[in-house]
Amino acid sequence: MATQEQSSRPPRQASFRHLASGAIVNTGCFHDITCLGSGDVDLDQWEAGFTDSDGRFYSREEAARAVGLCGRLESESYLAGEVNPTLEAGHLEAWRKAELRRAA
């Protein structure tokens, strides 16, 4: 469901939103923290997410749901302490797993 901040357009690029100011920094095809500025950046002040073609921000969970993914996100698995939570560990990308897709 689209909220006031969101549209029905799918998220298109990785972005960060500053928690205090709401400023959004688009970083392209991955979450590149070097785009947040030079020097010592406080990552606790930034939320990783995505933006759609209208520039509207989606959290990671909102973006996953917007494109039809169900279940746990890889970042949730990592924070839960699972043994091999990352794609680099050989996991199939979540969007390729049939059991995580919503029924059409």
pLDDT, position 84 = 57
The set of residues, in sequence order, having a beta carbon less than 8 Å from that of 19 and lying 6+ positions away, is: 45, 46, 47
pLDDT, position 24 = 97
Averages of pLDDT over runs of 10 residues in the chain (104 residues) are: 54 93 94 87 90 92 77 58 53 56 57
Sheet with 24-28, edge to edge strand ranges? 24-28, 13-18, 46-51, 57-59
